[in-house]
């Protein structure tokens, strides 16, 4: 699959459509090798990756459940159970973290977050070229102080995404793609 083909064919695979067949350690290494080719102004290399598989997914689910209970002490048992099971929906979860270098002379914080997001996109494209489905998920867990503390993040650091990866268990529905012309603005139109 060439790069343009991979970009145009890319789609997010919901975890409910993933089988228990996950990537090998070598494949995950390939995905992360692709990740670190992302654009990175100032060579900050702000990205960090935590690969969560096997029983560690249960531990991450407990972190998510504890975070929910801290945010909402009255959370229902059903909501807590959903958080416990969230990481179990895919055989591999990769937490994509941005370790921010504050006041960097070349790369402001937003550029470091963008670089990390580009690395996450590369992981997803690499997974797709190997026949896996992937999806970037965030939600409250990506912004939760309890979850950020678990990953030993500073207040300025960010959880950019949790990438769920697994072999699709069946066809992944296409989403309608917008016409890019809808998003093109004329230069100087706002002046």
Distance (Å) of CA 170 to CA 16, 35, 37: 10, 27, 31
Task: In whole angstroms, give the CA distance from residue 49 to residue 92.
Answer: 12
**Strands, DSSP E only, in 56-123?**
92-98
The pLDDT-based confidence of 3 (bands split at 50, 70, 90) is: confident
How far is the C-alpha of 116 from the C-alpha of 25, rounded, in Å?
21
Of the candidates 44, 25, 177, the one whose C-alpha atom is nearest the C-alpha of residue 118 is: 44
**CB atoms inside a 10 Å sphere around CB 11:** 16
169 neighbors 18 (Cβ within 8 angstroms): yes
Query: Which tens digit of pLDDT belongs to each residue from 37-78?
Result: 999 999 999 999 999 999 999 999 999 999 999 999 999 999
The closest of 136, 133, 139 to 82, measured between CA atoms, is 139
> What DSSP state is assigned to residue 154?
-
Complete domains list, the chain, with CATH: 9-53+89-170 (3.40.109.10)
Distance of CA 15 to the CA centre of its chain: 13
Token pair recorded at residue 126: 């690499």
Q: pTM for the whole thing?
A: 0.94
Each residue of 172-186: pLDDT tens digit?
Answer: 988 889 999 999 999
Integer-rounded Cα Rg, in Å, for the chain is: 18
Over the stretch 89-139, which tens digit does the pLDDT of each residue have? 999 999 999 999 898 899 999 999 999 999 999 999 999 999 999 999 999
């Amino acid at each position: 699959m060439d790069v343009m083909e991979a970009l145009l064919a890319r789609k997010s695979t919901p975890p409910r459509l993933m089988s228990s067949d996950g990537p090998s350690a070598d494949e995950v290494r390939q995905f992360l090798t692709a990740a670190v080719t992302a654009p990175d102004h100032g060579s900050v290399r702000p990205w960090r990756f935590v690969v969560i598989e096997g029983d560690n997914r249960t531990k991450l689910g407990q972190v998510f459940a504890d975070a929910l209970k801290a945010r909402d002490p009255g959370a229902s048992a059903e909501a807590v159970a959903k958080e416990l099971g969230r990481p179990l929906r895919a055989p591999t979860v990769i937490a994509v973290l941005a370790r921010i270098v504050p006041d960097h002379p070349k790369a402001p914080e937003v550029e470091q977050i963008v670089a990390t997001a580009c690395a996450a996109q590369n992981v997803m494209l690499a997974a797709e070229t190997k026949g896996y489905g992937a999806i970037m998920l965030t939600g409250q867990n990506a912004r939760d102080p309890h979850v950020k503390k678990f990953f030993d993040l500073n207040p300025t650091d960010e959880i950019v995404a949790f990438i769920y990866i697994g072999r699709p268990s069946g066809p992944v529905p296409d989403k309608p793609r917008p016409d890019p012309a809808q998003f093109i603005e004329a230069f100087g139109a706002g002046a």
